[in-house]
Structure 1
Amino acid sequence: MLGLTGVLLALLLGLVILQFCKFQWTAKRLPPGPTPLPIIGNLWTVKFQLHHETLMQLARTYGNIMTLWAGQTPLIVLNGYQAVRDALVSNSENFSDRPVTPFFKLFANEKGIIVSNGHTWKQQRRFGLKTLRDLGLGKKGLEWRIQGEAQRLVEFIYSLEGRALDPKRCLMNSVSNVVTAMSFGHHFPLDDKLFLQLIESTDSVANFFGTHWGQLYDAFPWLMHRLPGPQQQTMQHLEFLRSFVMQEIRHHQENPSGDPQDVIDFYLDQIAKTKDDPTSTFNEGNLMQVLIDFFLAGTETTTTTLQWALLYMVIYPDIQDKVQKELDACVETEVIHYEDRKRLQYTNAVIHEIQRCRTALPCALPRQCVKDSTVQGYWIKEGTIIVFNLASAHCDPNHWDAPDTFTPTNFLDMDGNFKSNEAFLPFSAGHRICMGEQLAKTELFIFFTSLLRAFTFRLPQGVTEVNMTGIFGTTFKPHPYQICAIRR
């Protein structure tokens, strides 16, 4: 028996040594990085999470282009504006694929827009962009819906009469209702139970990828799929989203409208138009995933940014006061329009500075190298997974006057006029730039200005400190907090 145990231990040790040698051999052809451990790679080094701040710390040792191992899989991590830009913009087509990771496969099975590739991605994205335009993106039609939700949010907060609230739920409900109206043709009451379950499921699925559990799932899917843990709850939430969306699709099929009014209408028309085209990817499976993609992408980052926005206003009351004075002086109409940003130079700068300091999607979603490429002298093999640390571009001292300080002057010139900065990349760049960038910009501006025009935000009595470290998942959220909205 001892002899058998000894053989098994020797075999195990031999496998570990073999794995270590494999890491070392492969690493010779990759950018530098911390030494990986057998089986888990560098997951221990990064505490099982690709946190943007951890990646920036490692970059000080290994450079702005480095290699980390997620289990058996090497990841090339790009830090700093120049490295990120060279890959996202100069080599955009070469880095335009999504990796088919275990969680991405579970989430979409290569359907929809966010994590699909090739012909499917091109057709679905082209449809998404056209439909957004048809529904009024960049025009008064969609802006009117955003203004209506902003007003409903203001009225809800009015009803609290200054009592402390955690703004996450009401912000998320309001932002989500813009997407539901656009996708399904109707919105929900803010206290609707089904809607609240939809919000909870959206939050769970959208943030799972970036958590410790998400990284473990991708490294060891065969094990994590069977073990108890948060991943099981996320799978249940994903099934709820699919069921909810399919009910909406069935309702549209059973009650056809005349002219298309929402995403489902436009998509069902597209299925009918292309039914005889063998190259078409328009079908119910892709429709369901496109709707889930719209909902997740259109809700999470905008809600998170607005949470940070209100938190920054209570921390910097002088900046809040300056925004409100500019709103009072420059906006005379009852409803705020996106066009007003051209006159609200300081307010516009504040919104951009919030996005810079607390990038909602700090590491974007990973890409995959389409063909052998070179970035700043490093050869990257076809099929390699790339991680873009967008937050590091927002802290790059070569491109920002005050990279470590929250100051709207990062976006203002000497005359106090708004100025853009090429290193500002909250929506990524290149072929995979956020499809809903214009929608998100419009929402952020109208929701933020509507709230600041109606209320002054303060910490509840007795609260003197605020936790600004944030919670890292797929998005970078603030810790739960409460504020008081005092009617102006």
Structure 2
Amino acid sequence: MDFGLSLASYFVLIFTLLYILKSWKKSHVTNFPPGPRCLPLIGNLHLMDFKKPHEIYLGLAKKYGPVFSFQMGTQKMVVLAGYETVKEALVNNAEDFGERGVIRILKKMDNGMGVISSQGENWKVMRRFTISTLRDFGMGKSTIEEKIAEECVSLNKYFASFKGKPFESTMILNAAVANIIVAILLGYRMEYDDPQFKRLLDLTNENIRLLGKPMVSLTNIFPLLEYFPGSHKTILKNAEELYDFIRRTFVEYLKNLDENDQRSFIDVFLVKQKEEAGSPHSYFHNENLTKLVRNLFSAGMETTSTTLRWGILLMIKYPHIQEKVQEEISRVIGSAQPMYSHRTQMPYTNAVIHEIQRVADIVPLNLGHLTTRDVTFRGYSIPKGTYIIPLLTSVLRDETQFEKPEEFYPNHFLDSKGNFVKKDAFMPFSAGRRACAGETLARMELFVFFTSLMQQFTFSSPLGPNNVDLTPITGITNSPKPHEICAVPRN
């Protein structure tokens, strides 16, 4: 008998038994939420469709109710479905459900730093600093609105250059939206044809796409798979290249830092770092800075630009709605530059943008949460440290909150007199303690970019509206399939 082979088999057996024991212990929590029966080692993986996991959870919610369990490998999770359930957890019990769930690939990328996947005091400090600094640089104010308006000019010029002929809009919309957060982070915008800018966008786009790959999901569940080739290694390699750029950038900023003239987010962080240089417990160190800047660049670009792509696609699919939007723009704004303040006079356009966000369902699974203590929730016992999925897609498609949840129907956000109506179940930015820190900026960007594009162009498809495919590519976000559009100038 080969001694090496026997030893390897022994370790595999021990590892397997430990997995089964861990799985058994987690599955025997008294009064844990119900869920499908688990298999040894894989849990409920045999039920999962990695191309559309949110659809699997929606189906299970119909069978097991709005609070149910699901097991990925040995990790027992709790899924929350429907507006009332998600609100009760994230808003009414914000502290109990307010920690960030650990996703292995994100943990390896960010090492628990930054703001998206960090936890505890680091997250509190970085989130507070981020929101405060974004506000100082104009989030929600006219100063940042002017930057968006200026970017609209460049974006419109690019669209007009095709003279109504078909083109693919993904990269240019990414670049335009990214330039707003770049202006805050670095203190200047970047040209669309800048090779460095294009590289940063490519790296970020590829990572967003790869994060939804089955191999990455499986690696998050079974750590041993990290040692095999796959998309997870490309993600980490891309992240490191992004970090190298950020490190080089803030090192240069440090050389020319003027504490009395802070022109960028990085400047403000570096000044804070100097102020706390003597503190052994300061969170303002270089690693947090690199992770925080990458977080903001990725989050500040991806969801907003993807929503705009959905918006254009939906206007092509429903040209009568596009015409009504353009009629309101002409009547209220005319040829003036659209500004965020115009939304109060434009209920239909505002409703259309909200409905685009609802139907686009950009982050259907939300980002995972974690219970901070043992919780009794809706009659079930959920232990401390349980991974929670607040199923945002179930909120945005809740039939008790939206009359036609499966349709694109702007009247969801209009009353009988045509006035705009807010909906509590409108949660594309999540809710509670972990709601998107840049929500105010994203809302402003969406309105100004979308309205400006609709003012300047009529959009169509070379294939015609009836052949527009609204089937999403599901990864960590829901994005449209690659498609060409025609932007015909209106003047």
TM band (smaller chain): over 0.9
Q: 1:131 to 1:21 in 2, by over 3 A?
A: closer
Task: Quote the offset at 1:340 in angstroms.
Answer: 0.2
Q: What CA deviation, in whole Å up to 9, does each residue of 1:49-95 have, x standing for no partner?
A: 67222211111112111111111111111111111111100110111
AA of the residue aligned to 2:232 = Q
Unaligned runs of 5+ in 1: none
Whole-angstrom CA distance in 2 between matches of 1:437 and 1:384: 27
Matches within 5 A, 1:18-417: 22=24, 25-26=27-28, 29-48=31-50, 51-223=53-225, 225-257=226-258, 258-332=260-334, 334-417=336-419
Contact 1:49 1:215 in 2 (8 A): no
Whole-angstrom CA distance in 2 between matches of 1:208 and 1:328: 41
Whole-angstrom CA distance in 2 between matches of 1:252 and 1:290: 16
Whole-angstrom CA distance in 2 between matches of 1:53 and 1:84: 17
Contact 1:211 1:472 in 2 (8 A): no
Q: Secondary structure at the match of 1:485?
A: strand
AA of the residue aligned to 2:242 = L
Task: Quote the offset at 1:464 in angstroms.
Answer: 4.5
Q: 1:183 to 1:60 in 2, by over 3 A?
A: same
Whole-angstrom CA distance in 1 between matches of 2:464 and 2:108: 46
Task: Quote the offset at 1:22 in angstroms.
Answer: 1.5
Task: Quote the offset at 1:251 in angstroms.
Answer: 1.4
Task: Quote the offset at 1:36 in angstroms.
Answer: 1.8
AA of the residue aligned to 1:242 = Y
More deviation, 96-105/154-163: 96-105
Whole-angstrom CA distance in 2 between matches of 1:322 and 1:381: 51
Q: What CA deviation, in whole Å up to 9, does each residue of 1:192-247 have, x standing for no partner?
A: 22211101111233344443222112112232x22112222111111111011111
Q: 1:13 to 1:349 in 2, by over 3 A?
A: closer
Task: Quote the offset at 1:48 in angstroms.
Answer: 3.9
More deviation, 73-82/463-472: 463-472
Contact 1:341 1:348 in 2 (8 A): yes
AA of the residue aligned to 2:437 = M
AA of the residue aligned to 1:319 = I
Task: Quote the offset at 1:274 in angstroms.
Answer: 1.5
Whole-angstrom CA distance in 2 between matches of 1:13 and 1:231: 23
Task: Quote the offset at 1:487 in angstroms.
Answer: 0.7
Task: Quote the offset at 1:167 in angstroms.
Answer: 1.2
Q: Secondary structure at the match of 2:401?
A: coil
Whole-angstrom CA distance in 1 between matches of 2:468 and 2:482: 10
Task: Quote the offset at 1:364 in angstroms.
Answer: 1.2
Whole-angstrom CA distance in 2 between matches of 1:52 and 1:65: 14
Whole-angstrom CA distance in 2 between matches of 1:263 and 1:105: 24
Contact 2:23 2:74 in 1 (8 A): no
Task: Quote the offset at 1:392 in angstroms.
Answer: 0.5
RMSD over equivalenced CA pairs, Å: 2.3
Whole-angstrom CA distance in 2 between matches of 1:430 and 1:379: 21
Whole-angstrom CA distance in 2 between matches of 1:231 and 1:117: 22
Contact 1:137 1:438 in 2 (8 A): yes
Q: Secondary structure at the match of 2:138?
A: coil
How many residues are treated as equivalent by the alignment? 484
Q: Secondary structure at the match of 1:44?
A: helix
Whole-angstrom CA distance in 2 between matches of 1:146 and 1:337: 9
Q: What CA deviation, in whole Å up to 9, does each residue of 1:409-429 have, x standing for no partner?
A: 000001000001111101111
AA of the residue aligned to 2:244 = S
AA of the residue aligned to 1:38 = P
Whole-angstrom CA distance in 2 between matches of 1:437 and 1:453: 24
Contact 2:19 2:74 in 1 (8 A): no
Q: Secondary structure at the match of 2:459?
A: strand
Q: What CA deviation, in whole Å up to 9, does each residue of 1:120-179 have, x standing for no partner?
A: 111111111110111011111111111111111000011111110111111001001111
AA of the residue aligned to 1:251 = E
Whole-angstrom CA distance in 2 between matches of 1:28 and 1:229: 38
Whole-angstrom CA distance in 2 between matches of 1:253 and 1:473: 37
Task: Quote the offset at 1:24 in angstroms.
Answer: 8.5
Task: Quote the offset at 1:28 in angstroms.
Answer: 5.5
Contact 2:27 2:76 in 1 (8 A): no
Q: Secondary structure at the match of 2:79?
A: strand
Task: Quote the offset at 1:277 in angstroms.
Answer: 2.9
Q: Secondary structure at the match of 2:24?
A: helix
Which residue matches 1:475?
A: 477
Task: Quote the offset at 1:351 in angstroms.
Answer: 0.3
Task: Quote the offset at 1:372 in angstroms.
Answer: 0.8
Whole-angstrom CA distance in 2 between matches of 1:236 and 1:116: 20
Q: Secondary structure at the match of 1:469?
A: coil
Whole-angstrom CA distance in 1 between matches of 2:416 and 2:145: 32
Whole-angstrom CA distance in 1 between matches of 2:297 and 2:362: 16
Contact 1:86 1:375 in 2 (8 A): no
Whole-angstrom CA distance in 2 between matches of 1:126 and 1:267: 12
Contact 1:20 1:38 in 2 (8 A): no
